[in-house]
Amino acid sequence: MSDELDALKSALKAAPAPEAEAKARALALAMKNFDTAQGSPLALRPMEDRPKEAGFLWGVKEMMSSIAKRRWLAASTSAAALAVGVAVFAPHADKGPLPKMVVVAEPEAAEAPKPDRGRAEQDRLVATDKAAGQQEPAGEAVMAQEAEAGITLDDTAMAGLTTRAAPPMTAAAVLDGTMNLSDDLEHAQPLPPSTEAFANAEVNPVKITAEEPVSTFSIDVDTASYAVVRSSLNAGQLPPPEAVRIEEMVNYFPYAYPAPDGTQAFRPTISVMPTPWNAGTRLVHIGIQGAMPAIADRPGLNLVFLIDTSGSMDEPNKLPLLKQSFAMMLEGLRATDQVAIVTYAGSAGTVLPPTNAGNRAEILSALDRLSAGGSTAGAEGIALAYDVAEGMTAQGEVSRVILATDGDFNVGMADPEALKVFIADRRESGTYLSVLGFGRGNLDDATMQALAQNGNGTASYIDTLNEARKVLVDQLVGALYPIANNVKIQVEWNPAEVAEYRLIGYETRALAREDFNNDKVDAGDIGAGTAVTAIYEITAPGSAALLNDPLRYQSGAAQTAGNGELGFLRIRQVVPGQSESVLQETAIGEGAAATPEAQFAVAIAGFGQLLSGAKYTGDWGWDQAIEMALAARGTDDFGYRIEAVNLMRMAQSLSAQP
């Protein structure tokens, strides 16, 4: 949204960890009260404040004290006297008409803020609301203004209050209406873990091969995390640790891994190297290079841009950048490819009907006409975009909806779960979804990632025109043409050679072992010519770097002799258009030495770890990461790698500050 909001967000995210002692105290008290409550159930209300002060006067009390507080804030240099008269006509909280209250507030004249100030503020407020196209000003805000102005609270204010002081049933009904959740306890479905929790997933722990020899995950070709990290660093802030997804940082860079030959869709390259940050362990680097089909053979392409035009998009790094980005992307399309534009929030509807990409003038003028403004009108944005896309699809063509937003996913479906299901559903019918994030502050990274995952697409974050070029021009083909769907990786470690292992990154992509063979479980896709990298840190048996002591009662177990194989790599993928997955297997040997490409990937993995807590990196720090990345920079035609080195330097100086 803006740098300021972004800065406030990262500052707020840096909440301290609770103290163990305080926590224990609070939890003990809770348990004690729990036990007491079992003995003598209190009369309870769901949402109000203090249980001890129950009663219908609550609403009045709240209002009084909030008036007192506002008055206090308004004239805090001296004690303001406030005379208040209250008359309450016995309301009954549970049934019957809403309580009728008459409230007269008489502020002390000398200390009262001037009424016209309050009026002016209210006018401004209403004006702002009108400008923003909202239906009505918030009742609460009006109340605040009037209280400050010393005006007698009128019915509007009372309505605001009675809503808040409403009896439980009403409050529940309000919730029902907005969230569409069943209040039938029998049907209360346990909700899946939120994407937020996913995005904040704990760093992968070190696993003991003897206990858990198999590691399974979905590949991840998103790159949004790297761009978010870059935008934070460029704004002079260390990114919040939970914004760092190491695999997305590593996969941001193009790597020159050996290309597959013949009919293979991709080719894994495995190398083993000493760990830069730990002398007692080694790194296993797995690079998977997707095939690049002849560009000339590519099928026709139908793109529907679904563009957020809510008021918040009206910033230089949002809608204007988006327009420039899409204009650039047009260059990469063929004259026969088709483009349509649908907007949501603000001006809703089809802005450009399906048009041949050759007709650049028409497309560009439609893009130019886009303007941000207005509130979020709950348009049928996403359904419309998919309908348009499906109308455009001819036999053998690829259709994709490209959602561009700054975080407002009010695309016509309020429930994010319903949205995901809708997208996953349409994925089955062949229309995919990619998400482009713009601006910071409101950026809903977790939702972006979840939607793109469900739509077989990528989530990218566009912060500069340069990034737009990378995502939409240089890597357009890869982003739009999947060559392998549902790519899952499973590594089985050989306990004779590897005592402990740890997957670096991919925390949000972990799969259950049994899901590897289950084609119903969705996973990431590899686009034409793109590369995916995974890095494991492994510890040999007997190494001084082992983190877990051997077990006293298990040590007698027979150890199979090492045969030189560290482990066994299995990759499963679904060829686009097919339904059954194909398995590809490779042994992980000792032999292959690391190429500079692998070295650079490791340097970036180190960068990510330093940003997200450096739990396992020991004394290895910024200097070493920078040195390693510089040494493995290679030709770096587009300057992506040197940019990463500069970001490391920036992070180094930021983290050196107190």
Partner 1 sequence: MLMDTPDETLALAARSGDRAAFGILIGRHYDRVFRLAWRLSGARADAEDLAQDVCAALPAKLAGWRGEARFSTWLYRVVMNAAHDQRRRAAVRSKASDGWGDWEIARQDEISVEAERMDWLKSAMARLSPELRDTAALVLGEELTQAEAGLVLGLSEGTIAWRMSEMKKRLKAMAAEEAGR
Type of residue numbered 363: I
Cα separation, 568 vs 574, whole angstroms: 20
- The residue within the footprint of partner 1, chosen from 56, 57, 66, 390 (CB under 8 A), is 66
- The residue within the footprint of partner 1, chosen from 81, 104, 127, 138 (CB under 8 A), is 138
The CA-based angle 613-533-531, given to 5 degrees, is 140
* Residue 95 within binding range of partner 1, rule CB under 8 A: no
- Smallest separation (angstroms) from partner 1 to the CB of 298: 37
- Smallest separation (angstroms) from partner 1 to the CB of 392: 31
CB 533 within 8 A of CB 255: yes
- Smallest separation (angstroms) from partner 1 to the CB of 344: 15
- Smallest separation (angstroms) from partner 1 to the CB of 41: 7
Residue number with CB closer to partner 1 (26 or 256): 26
* Residue 446 within binding range of partner 1, rule CB under 8 A: yes
Phi, psi of 308 (to 5 degrees): -75, 120
CB 196 within 8 A of CB 508: no
Residue with tokens 């840190």: 537
| SS3 (DSSP) at 122 | helix
Subset of 555-574 contacting partner 1 (CB under 8 A): none
CA-to-CA dists, residue 612 to 333, 499, 627, angstroms: 38, 25, 20
Residue number with CB closer to partner 1 (15 or 90): 15
In the shown chain, the binding pattern of residues 98 to 137 toward partner 1, with x for contact by CB under 8 A and - for none, equals ------------------------------xx--x-xx--
- The residue within the footprint of partner 1, chosen from 116, 154, 196, 331 (CB under 8 A), is 196
- Smallest separation (angstroms) from partner 1 to the CB of 15: 4
- Smallest separation (angstroms) from partner 1 to the CB of 38: 5
Residue number with CB closer to partner 1 (169 or 295): 169
Cα separation, 24 vs 39, whole angstroms: 23
Subset of 341-400 contacting partner 1 (CB under 8 A): 375-376
* Residue 17 within binding range of partner 1, rule CB under 8 A: yes
Radius of gyration of the chain (CA): 29
Stretch that binds partner 1, among 13-21, 506-514, 544-552, 614-622 (CB under 8 A): 13-21
CA-to-CA dists, residue 104 to 118, 120, 147, 356, 654, angstroms: 17, 22, 11, 67, 55
Residue number with CB closer to partner 1 (377 or 473): 377
Subset of 291-350 contacting partner 1 (CB under 8 A): 311-312
* Residue 188 within binding range of partner 1, rule CB under 8 A: yes
| SS3 (DSSP) at 368 | helix
- The residue within the footprint of partner 1, chosen from 102, 127, 174, 394 (CB under 8 A), is 174
- The residue within the footprint of partner 1, chosen from 164, 298, 570, 649 (CB under 8 A), is 164
> Beta strands 500-504 and 207-208: pairing type?
antiparallel
* Residue 23 within binding range of partner 1, rule CB under 8 A: yes
As given in the structure block, the two tokens for residue 102 are 């008459």
DSSP secondary structure, 294-332, as one string = -GGGPPPEEEEEEEE-SGGG-STTTHHHHHHHHHHHHHT
Residue number with CB closer to partner 1 (61 or 427): 61
Q: Is 614 exposed, middle or buried (0-12, 13-18, 19+ CB in 10 A)?
A: middle
CB 409 within 8 A of CB 444: yes
In the shown chain, the binding pattern of residues 511 to 550 toward partner 1, with x for contact by CB under 8 A and - for none, equals ----------------------------------------
Cα separation, 627 vs 502, whole angstroms: 24
Type of residue numbered 194: S
* Residue 418 within binding range of partner 1, rule CB under 8 A: no
Subset of 27-46 contacting partner 1 (CB under 8 A): 27, 29-31, 33-38, 41-42, 44-46
CB 626 within 8 A of CB 647: no
| SS3 (DSSP) at 156 | helix
How many residues of this chain interact with partner 1, rule: CB under 8 A?
Answer: 93
* Residue 421 within binding range of partner 1, rule CB under 8 A: no
- Smallest separation (angstroms) from partner 1 to the CB of 97: 21
- The residue within the footprint of partner 1, chosen from 57, 68, 327, 594 (CB under 8 A), is 68
Stretch that binds partner 1, among 178-186, 209-217, 455-463, 479-487 (CB under 8 A): 178-186
As given in the structure block, the two tokens for residue 520 are 């119903």
Residue number with CB closer to partner 1 (409 or 516): 409
* Residue 11 within binding range of partner 1, rule CB under 8 A: yes
- Smallest separation (angstroms) from partner 1 to the CB of 320: 18
CB 482 within 8 A of CB 301: no
* Residue 461 within binding range of partner 1, rule CB under 8 A: no
CA-to-CA dists, residue 529 to 295, 472, 475, 532, 598, angstroms: 11, 14, 9, 10, 17
Stretch that binds partner 1, among 108-116, 183-191, 286-294, 566-574 (CB under 8 A): 183-191
Type of residue numbered 310: S
CA-to-CA dists, residue 576 to 80, 216, 371, angstroms: 73, 22, 37
CB 511 within 8 A of CB 216: yes
In this structure, the number of other CB atoms found within 10 A of the CB of residue 205 comes to 12
CB 286 within 8 A of CB 535: yes
* Residue 168 within binding range of partner 1, rule CB under 8 A: yes
- Smallest separation (angstroms) from partner 1 to the CB of 72: 6
- Smallest separation (angstroms) from partner 1 to the CB of 132: 7
Residue number with CB closer to partner 1 (375 or 393): 375
* Residue 579 within binding range of partner 1, rule CB under 8 A: no
- Smallest separation (angstroms) from partner 1 to the CB of 482: 29
- The residue within the footprint of partner 1, chosen from 101, 112, 143, 144 (CB under 8 A), is 144
Cα separation, 542 vs 536, whole angstroms: 18
* Residue 159 within binding range of partner 1, rule CB under 8 A: no
